[in-house]
Amino acid sequence: MPRLTADVQAFEAHASDADLDDLRARLVAARLPEAETVRHAAPDPRRWEQGVPLADLVDLVDYWRTGYDWRSFEERLDRIGQFRTTIDGLGIHFLHRRSARADATPLILTHGWPGSIAEFIDVVDELADPEDAEAPAFHVVVPSLPGFGHSDKPATTGWGTEKIAAAWVELMGRLGYSRFAAQGGDWGGNITTVLGGRFPEHVLGIHTTFAQAPPGLTTEGLTAIERRWTEETRDFWHHRAAYAKQQATRPQTIGYSLVDSPVGLLAWILDKFAEWSDTEDSPFERISRDRVLDNVTLYWLTRTGASAARIYYESHDSLDPGLRVDVPSAITMYPRDIEKCPRPWAQERYRQIVRWRSPEIGGHFPSLEVPDFFIRDLREGLAAVLAADR
């Protein structure tokens, strides 16, 4: 338990019964479109060519309405430990699980979109107090990004990744962690990169599943696999990134649907869990329905569909081309992630890569898809980082 101060207050998440009843009523009254015109028998990834198949959505909506238990998720968050603090006028919500181990290292985990703190609830306890006494332990901090979950929604522009990284340094300092390690993927990976590049006096080192190289690098000298990675990433941004363009240019417009319709919100997010996971057909081959619904329901109850989308407006393509990361870095490129950076390119930004891994399984949400591997990889990566920092 962190020492509470005037700057850090304990927090409990508790949705009202009225809000949960309203959610169920909206699910009952949902108006759905006709089925997609591209149909294939499951399992077949081609079923998703036009987006979330109607039959899959109907099944999940029915479970959301009749079988899903939001209260159990609230209880999990409270057991981990929830807190709030105000930084630069904005309330920031975070989980904080202190390890019982005296040798534990402070660690901040940062999620992205369409994720949330729900991505990490199955790994926090094991990272803080591992069953194996020889494994490294961490004081784990998991903040909700501005505009996400129980963090406040920014009322003005300016809360991009650079400002968020600075806020994380302030947050960790308030918890007594003047130096710490950082991990993240997606937007969390971008923020982790900024942390390592801008605040080396505070950051022991980083572990990331996102590595964005400086622009203008050539494919000359890359291996065949690395060239394939660049082609797959280019194909993603040319043909499958309409969601990012929408949220980067018109987040308010899509936001009306995301805040008003739980089915619309579910489909918008489920589409990404399906496409970005290392599965052959459905995301539920690796991720439980409950975890996906924990994540979506958190967006719904906090009415953050629009405010979360604005991180694209604030930060899309904004990583400083000249930013260099000199702290020790561990980088893992999961095979089914949407952006994979060749190591020679990554080395142009991350100047001290102490561990590089390309596992055989896993996609964009490794802490949910392959949690045991994620924990092991994170431990080994940060062990290399901490050894290099000594």
- The tens digit of pLDDT for each residue in 233-256 reads 999 999 999 999 999 999 999 999
* 4 contacts: CB under 8 Å, gap ≥ 6: 10, 83
Alpha helix (H) ranges present in the chain?
Answer: 17-28, 54-66, 70-80, 124-128, 161-174, 187-198, 224-239, 242-249, 251-260, 262-276, 289-302, 305-315, 343-346, 366-369, 371-389
pLDDT on residue 325: 98
Asked if the model's pLDDT at residue 39 lies above 90, the reply is: no
Residues above pLDDT 70, as percent of the chain: 98
- The tens digit of pLDDT for each residue in 102-155 reads 999 999 999 999 999 999 999 999 999 999 999 999 999 999 999 999 999 999
Per DSSP, 284 falls in state: G
Asked if the model's pLDDT at residue 383 lies above 80, the reply is: yes
Q: Which of 79, 30, 62 is CA-nearest to residue 261?
A: 30
pLDDT on residue 4: 62
Q: Kindly tell me the burial class for residue 305, based on how many C-beta atoms sit within 10 Å of its own C-beta (0-12, 13-18, 19 or more).
A: buried
Q: How many CB atoms lie within 10 A of CB 246?
A: 15
Residue type, 84: R
Give 44's pLDDT tier (boundaries 50, 70, 90).
confident
pLDDT on residue 45: 86
Task: Say how far residue 284 (Cα) sits from the centre of its chain.
Answer: 18
Asked if the model's pLDDT at residue 178 lies above 60, the reply is: yes
Per DSSP, 325 falls in state: B
Asked if the model's pLDDT at residue 165 lies above 70, the reply is: yes
- The tens digit of pLDDT for each residue in 183-229 reads 999 999 999 999 999 999 999 999 999 999 999 999 999 999 999 99
Give 43's pLDDT tier (boundaries 50, 70, 90).
confident
Instruction: Catalogue all structural domains in the chain, each as residue range(s) with its CATH number.
Output: 8-389 (3.40.50.1820)
